[in-house]
Amino acid sequence: MNLKTTLCAAGALALVATAGANAATTVTIATVNNGDMIRMQGLTEDFTSSNPDITLEWVTLEENVLRQRVTQDIAAKGGQFDVLTIGTYEVPIWGNNGWLVSLNDLPAEWDADDLLPAIRSGLTVEGDLYAAPFYGESSMVMYRTDLMAKAGLEMPDAPTWDFIKQAAAAMTDRDNEMYGICLRGKAGWGENMAFLTATSNSFGARWFDENWKPQFDSEAWANTLNFYMDLMTSYGPPGASTNGFNENLSLFQQGKCGMWIDATVAASFVTNPKDSTVADSVGFALAPDNGLGKRGNWLWAWSLAVPAGSDATDAAKKFIAWATSKEYTALVASKEGWANVPPGTRTSLYENPAYLEAAPFAEMTLNSINAANPKQPTVDPVPYTGVQFVAIPEFAGLATQVGQEFSAALAGQQSVEQALEKAQALTADEMEAAGY
């Protein structure tokens, strides 16, 4: 072999290598730090081994940071991400803005009809599915079965708010740091306002009437907030105005809460004997109601979407189809057991006897999700969608301000009337400025 031939061969090899390198598509995935998402990262070899031309890169951030980063990147057309992890609040807004790619063309075997109707409708805008749900959640009552028995009470599957108050009173023993009920009090649209907005639905309240007029001056809102304040100040833990999901989870796991109404995803935490001291004495019930036809539970789905600026749309869709498929669920079950599969997205999961046996909270989770209707969240008609939020861009900032007023009332810094007056005034101002 002479020098010329050797050089030609080396050149050809280099070309082949370069072509191979160019053919590889990198998909950058922006995601949040929670158990299900982290588990998915650990299982991606299953995807990359059958798609060797696709490389996955992960950016994991705390959800509020992620929301801000992704919004900024989409608005500025930075194109840094190919797959976004977003919630049911963002999807309708971003879908309407043309920021997301429609996922209507995912393969037939992905089986869109298997998605839970409530979850699917929350991710669909005018017939286009803009995000594929990875896991869904609602909220429900988690309670201590031993304390309930000790109090001589029995939790119904679908309790009323009056029963919750009665049970909280019976279980509270402040001298022994036992509090009848733990609820969110920390200010924030995804913190206390997620809980209070969902609760207000069951009291017949709403954020806006059909003409986008704020409704915090209504009797229904006064009833909602007075009930919440009474419940928390009489039977809640001290310092509740700074408690969010994690603080209440910590209290419940240490056996200091009789009841906790929060995200269904908490069920797997409080029943895990490794972390929870009360794992073997936890029961579940639907979020309470007041007999008005709406329960105080919310609806949320962490979902995967493709931003309109992505240069790897096909590869991103391929990844999403894998991560949200029935096959992925089966993969998790085979590796980590049925109790660890991402819940709340597919009907087939709740028809699977193996899952129903492994997850004692499965039925209650499904019933909670089905009890929420994001298209008709309130007793009276409203011009918006969303159960614990109003799917308009202004809501996040607005609800955080309102949440601060309500949190200040819980901290005893102002009365309920003052908090509602301020909420009404600031909401009216913001909505007028936004042109509603």
Partner 1 sequence: MARAVKNKQKIINTVAAWGIGLLIFFPVLWTILTSFKTEAQAIADPPVFLFFDWTLENYAIVQERSDYMRYLWNSVIIAGVSTLVGIVVAVPAAWSMAFVPSKRTKDVLLWMLSTKMLPAVGVLYPIYLIFIQLGLLDTRTGLVIVMMLINLPIIVWMLYTYFREIPGEILEAARMDGASLRDEILYVLTPMAVPGIASTILLNFILAWNEAFWTLNLTAAKAGPLTAFIASYSSPEGLFYAKLSAASTMAIAPILILGWFSQKQLVRGLTFGAVK
Interacting residue ranges for partner 1, rule: CB under 8 A: 28, 30, 32-35, 38, 41-42, 57-65, 69, 72, 76-81, 190, 244-246, 249-250, 253-254, 256, 263, 265, 269, 274-277
CA distance 199 to 94: 26
Under a CB-based contact definition with an 8 Å cutoff, are residues 102 and 129 in contact? yes
The H or E element that residue 300 is part of is strand 299-305
Shortest Å distance, C-beta 310 to partner 1: 13
Rounded to 5°, angle at Cα 250 from 247 and 254: 145
Q: How far is the CB of 270 from partner 1 (least distance, A)?
A: 11
Of 293, 284, 292, the residue nearest 263 (C-alpha): 284
**Rounded to whole angstroms, how far apart are CA atoms 295 and 158?**
9
Q: Which two tokens stand for residue 113?
A: 């009809």
In the complex, least distance from residue 239 CB atom to partner 1, rounded to whole angstroms:
12
Q: How far is the CB of 34 from partner 1 (least distance, A)?
A: 5
Q: Which is nearer to partner 1, 31 or 215 (CB)?
A: 31
Q: What is the dihedral of CA 33, 34, 39, 42, to 10 degrees?
A: 10
Minimum Å gap between C-beta 30 and partner 1 is 8
Contact 326, 348 (CB under 8 A): yes
Task: Please identify, using beta-carbon distances, which residue of 220 and 249 lies nearer to partner 1.
Answer: 249
Q: What gap in Å lies between CA 313 and CA 100, rounded to an integer?
A: 11
For tokens 């909670």, the residue is 368
Cβ 61 to partner 1 shortest distance, Å:
6
Q: Residue 299: in which H helix or E strand, if any? A: strand 299-305
Q: Residue 30 or residue 132: which is nearer to partner 1 going by CB?
A: 30
Which CB atom, from 79 or from 383, has the smaller least distance to partner 1?
Answer: 79
Residues 6+ apart with CB under 8 A from 244: 184, 185, 186, 188, 191
Closest by Cα among 394, 389, 385, 395 to 125: 385
Nearer to partner 1, 91 or 266 (CB): 266
Closer to partner 1 at the Cβ: 33 or 347? 33
Beta carbon of residue 291, minimum distance to partner 1 (angstroms, whole number): 31
- Sorted by sequence, the CB contacts under 8 Å of residue 215 that are 6+ apart come out as 205, 206, 207, 208, 209, 221
Cβ closer to partner 1: 67 or 422?
67
| CA–CA dist 270, 250 (Å, integer) | 9
Q: Among positive and negative, which fits the CA dihedral 123, 326, 137, 364?
A: positive
Question: Which of 84/229 has CB closer to partner 1?
Answer: 84
Question: Which CB, 69 or 326, lies closer to partner 1?
Answer: 69
CA 204/CA 186 separation, integer angstroms: 23
- Residue 33 vs 418, nearer CB to partner 1: 33
Q: What is the smallest separation between the CB atom of 405 and partner 1, expressed in angstroms?
A: 21
Spatial CA neighbour of 167 closest among 246, 245, 234, 250: 234
What's at 200, amino acid-wise?
S
Nearer to partner 1, 203 or 361 (CB): 361
CB of 146 to partner 1, least distance (A): 19
Considering the complex, what minimum distance in angstroms separates the CB of residue 383 from partner 1?
Answer: 30
Beta carbon of residue 13, minimum distance to partner 1 (angstroms, whole number) = 28
